[in-house]
Amino acid sequence: MVAAGAAVPLATAALAACDGQAGRSGEGGGADRQAELPRADFGDPETAGAATIPFTARMLGAIDRADTNAVCSPLSAQIVLTMAGMGATGATRAQMEQTLGGSMDQLAEAANTLAGALLAVGEQQRQDPEEDQPDPAVASLVNGIWAQEGMSIQEQFLDDLATWFGSGIYEVDYIDPDHREEARQRINSWVEDVTDGLIQELIPAEALSETSRMVLVNSLHLKASWTSSLTTATGPFTTADGEKIEVDTLLAETTTWHEDELCRATALDTYGSDLSLALIQPVTDLPSVLDAWAESADDPSAGLGAVLAGLADDGEPVDLTLPAFDIDWNTPLSSVLIELGMADAFQAGEADFSGITTEEELLISEVIQKAVITVDEEGMEAAAATAAMLDTTSAAADPKELVLDAPFLFVAYETSTRAPLVLGWIGDPAQTR
């Protein structure tokens, strides 16, 4: 944590120098409209991480459990909705804050701090490289906004985008069909670029229309190697359907352990220790864990937060066996968000985004997310992108053992903040993307 904290000032300078796109905007220059304000200083990493837990637990508990495997990033959704929420007022803003787990100002500050923490991932190893070591870990959390050209934008909204998200607005034309397709390709190209090609075609063709006015996007990418390559083998796995199969497995030794009435867990560290992968075995089944985490979501020190906090301390040695996995996920989130209490933002006549513009009445027409994670003997790589589309109406002890040979949960997280980045469950590792 000391090393990560020491790197944050470097990350501050890097973010400020990159026009909010972490140097990978894919746009070839600055935004068309951007407030001339410096990006805010980073806040307390631990507070920023805690701000992500309530919404993470609730969203993970609300997504469709019919999926055999799942990977998602509530953090990415939270950030893109916070960007939109900075322009929401009245009951719309209140519902969004209740759903997202904090005031917009608190969530915006947390998003800013987390962007800095992720940019600092691997910085120490890049500055002081060692021979015969894996490549330093990399991570990024970047934002982009594309609005209808000529659209009237409130000055305060532009100020908030620059201050907390390091972003301005790119202008496109959603009204003309040909230009609309150009805009879609432009957004998708940006997402593909900042996720190192892992997330493609985030915005499907049917998602945009002549009533589209703004698309807000958050993209997350992380890649890290284990401290040393894991041993590979073949082992049994009982799928979510009860079928017993043979899968490629990974064998490792860890030194972290958490155990409570719901689950047992350990964490697989990466080179540099800035990123980790928590691996969580339910005591009974996945739904019992997901439901309990959702029920305790308002307390960041309980449930999921307690698991990640417990894994922050060195524990007893653990012999870990897990399947290699390579999965993706693609789903609209609107129904999940409405179920969680954010209904007004999607309803004509109820949505109030007058903090973005007073020229037209806006509502969120759809929120979509794509996510992917690969875990193998060398390391892990994951990415997620979320788009919100706004339309107009007009040691000494014997080792413990964790054998993940039946459905289990995983959480890729940043260690200094304990912020969950990408998470989900594996019901059948033989199903790959």
Give the model's pLDDT for residue 33. 92
| DSSP at 200 | -
Give the model's pLDDT for residue 24. 41
Give the model's pLDDT for residue 73. 98
Give the model's pLDDT for residue 16. 45
Q: Dig out the tokens for 2 from the structure.
A: 């000391």
pLDDT of 252 above 60? yes
Instruction: For 359-372, give one letter per residue: b (16+ CB within 10 A) or e.
Output: ebbbbbbbbbbbbb
User: Tell me: the pLDDT tens digits for 265-278?
Assistant: 999 999 999 999 99
pLDDT of 299 above 70? yes
pLDDT of 397 above 70? no
- Distance of alpha carbon 37 from alpha carbon 26, whole angstroms: 22
Q: What is the DSSP string of 111-169?
A: HHHHHHHHHTTTHHHHHS--TT-PPPPEEEEEEEEEEETT----HHHHHHHHHHH---B
Give the model's pLDDT for residue 271. 96
Using pLDDT thresholds of 50, 70 and 90, give the confidence band for residue 432.
confident
Using pLDDT thresholds of 50, 70 and 90, give the confidence band for residue 132.
confident
Using CB atoms within 10 Å of the CB of residue 144, give its burial: 0 to 12 exposed, 13 to 18 middle, 19+ buried: buried
Q: What is the DSSP string of 275-304?
A: EEEEEEEESS-HHHHHHHHHHTTT-TTSTH
Average pLDDT estimate for 337-361? 96
Strands laid side by side in the 170-172 sheet: 170-172, 138-148, 212-225, 379-392, 362-375, 325-332
Model confidence pTM above 0.85: yes
pLDDT of 229 above 60? yes
Lowest pLDDT segment from 347-351, 356-360, 366-370, 399-403: 399-403
User: Tell me: the pLDDT tens digits for 146-175?
Assistant: 999 999 999 999 999 999 999 999 999 999
- Distance of alpha carbon 276 from alpha carbon 140, whole angstroms: 15
| DSSP at 68 | S
Go through the chain and tell me how many residues it has.
433
Give the model's pLDDT for residue 370. 98
